[in-house]
């Protein structure tokens, strides 16, 4: 198995929520010699050095270039690490008969039916009182502990006729049966953290598909996993920035949280994070205000988010002239309303990178009678005034608890991004 694919599978399995994904990103960066930056302290950056900044769950990785920043600008690639799913409502555990359930809140836009009748894990983070201080620590129970069961078809004859799941009523996750004393969920979290239940101050938890990421297809060239949107592109960007060695231009990988809920958070794409980082990099490298503006004017961003692969069972859902196929190469995404930030100039630049990396390139456009999703690309482009191209690898069942992507597409995207950062 290719090392990049092996690492992708490991990354997916170790990242049930954005909390763990952020941890995994930092772990990999530190293993490659990236040094942490503190927003609360002055930065003293050096050319040809590697750094990272973590703001809550979002991460920016930097490799400073050997040539003047005002001349080369920033080579930026951005993705998001969160995925649509179900978030536990705090303090919502209740017992009905002998069944312990927790209420769920929908996070982003998941395909709800894909979460039903599945072995589900619980992960996220907890605020824990350790006596002298309260620390926020990651949580992963690391076993299937929850299920949202369907009613039997004998009790719901309409389940195969477009049944609509009520988000308040039907998305209650069962976590225990039998006699319970106290809060069995808090007790399980406490046990996993090796603390007492009364030490847990707050919980911020999500359900996740417990099945491991796997390769499939008769030729082993398909990827089956939850959270491929958008951990797949996050892994590709991370792999490329870690391979960057003494680039001429200053390179950055921007891995945001909260894209699936609109990005308007402290660490989302709509926040100050990236603009502050780029400005402080310029200041630390000795650029004046005019030179920092010159650096931005010479910058370029690749916004990488998974794309819709052509699905032969639903041909009526696609623009036939722009329907990318699985394992057909990276996809350039276009949309007239600028939900994707691609322009002719930015598309040409990415296509040239694909040609230089010797990988194929595809295009995607939505049908005119269907709504389009969006990415971090237009947000960053508007904030910083830099050209952006929106790209991604083809994907089936986007926003399902279990998605499908292509091995060859992932490797091709890493090649293109590595060329971009070189």
Residue 288, beta-bridge partner list: none
Residue 421 or residue 180, greater confidence: 421
Domains annotated on the chain, with CATH: 3-83+226-421 (3.40.630.10), 86-209 (2.30.250.10)
CB 222 within 8 A of CB 403: no
DSSP-derived 3-state class of residue 304:
strand
Query: Mind listing the pLDDT tens digit for each residue in 176-218?
Result: 998 778 889 999 999 999 999 999 999 999 999 999 999 999 9
Mean pLDDT, residues 137-145: 97
Please state which of the ranges 58-67, 179-188, 297-306, 407-416 shows the lowest mean pLDDT: 179-188
- Name the pairing type of β-strands 222-225 and 172-177: unpaired
CB 112 within 8 A of CB 162: no
pLDDT at 345 > cutoff 90: yes
Please confirm whether the linkage preceding 422 is cis (ω < 30° from 0): no
Q: Return the H-helix or E-strand segment holding 205.
A: strand 200-209
DSSP-derived 3-state class of residue 216:
strand
CA dihedral 130, 136, 139, 145 (to 10 degrees): 80
Please state which of the ranges 25-29, 76-80, 87-91, 397-401 shows the lowest mean pLDDT: 87-91
Rg (CA), the chain: 22
Tokens found for residue 20: 């763990």
Q: How far apart are CA 336 and CA 316, in angstroms?
A: 20
Query: Mind listing the pLDDT tens digit for each residue in 363-415?
Result: 999 999 999 899 999 999 999 999 999 999 999 999 999 999 999 999 999 99
Mean pLDDT, residues 225-232: 97
Mean pLDDT, residues 244-254: 95
Q: How far apart are CA 143 and CA 86, in angstroms?
A: 17
Q: Any residues with CB less than 8 A from the CB of 322 and at least 6 apart, and which?
A: 334, 363, 364, 365
């Amino acid at each position: 198995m290719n090392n990049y694919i092996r690492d992708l599978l490991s990354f997916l399995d170790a990242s049930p929520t954005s909390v763990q994904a952020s941890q995994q990103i930092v772990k990999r960066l530190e293993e490659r010699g990236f040094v942490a930056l503190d927003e609360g302290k002055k930065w003293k950056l050096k050319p040809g050095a590697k750094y990272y900044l973590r703001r809550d769950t979002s991460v920016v990785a930097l490799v400073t270039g050997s040539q003047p920043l005002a001349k080369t600008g920033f080579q930026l690639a951005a993705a998001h690490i969160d995925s649509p799913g179900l978030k536990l409502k705090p303090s919502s555990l209740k017992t009905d008969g002998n069944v312990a359930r927790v209420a769920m809140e929908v996070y982003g836009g998941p395909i709800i039916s894909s979460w039903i009748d599945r072995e589900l894990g619980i992960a996220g983070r907890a605020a824990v009182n350790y006596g002298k201080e309260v620390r926020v620590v990651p949580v992963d129970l690391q076993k299937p502990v929850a299920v949202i069961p369907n009613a039997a078809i004998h009790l719901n004859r309409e389940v195969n006729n477009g049944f609509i799941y009520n988000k308040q009523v039907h998305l209650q996750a069962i976590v225990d049966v039998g006699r319970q004393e106290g809060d069995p969920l808090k007790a399980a979290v406490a046990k996993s953290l090796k603390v007492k239940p009364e030490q847990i101050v707050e919980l911020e938890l999500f359900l996740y598909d417990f099945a491991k990421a796997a390769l499939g297809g008769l030729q082993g060239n398909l990827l089956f996993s939850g959270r491929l949107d958008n951990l797949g592109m996050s892994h590709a960007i991370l792999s490329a920035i870690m391979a960057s060695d003494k680039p001429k231009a200053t390179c950055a990988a921007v891995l945001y949280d909260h894209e699936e809920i609109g990005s308007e958070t402290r660490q989302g794409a709509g926040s100050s994070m990236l603009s502050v980082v780029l400005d402080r990099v310029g200041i630390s490298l000795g650029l004046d205000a005019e030179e920092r503006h010159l650096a931005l004017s010479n910058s370029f961003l690749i916004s990488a988010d998974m794309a819709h692969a052509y699905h032969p069972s639903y041909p009526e859902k696609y623009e036939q002239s722009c329907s990318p196929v699985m394992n057909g190469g990276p996809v350039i995404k276009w949309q007239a309303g600028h939900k994707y930030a691609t322009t002719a100039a930015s598309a040409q630049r990415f296509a040239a990178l694909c040609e230089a990396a010797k990988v194929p390139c595809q295009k995607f456009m939505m049908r005119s009678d269907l709504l389009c999703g969006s990415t971090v690309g237009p947000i960053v482009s508007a904030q910083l005034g830099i050209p952006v191209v929106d790209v991604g690898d083809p994907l089936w069942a986007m926003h399902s608890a279990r998605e499908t992507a292509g091995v060859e597409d992932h490797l091709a995207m890493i090649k293109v991004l590595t060329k971009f950062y070189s």
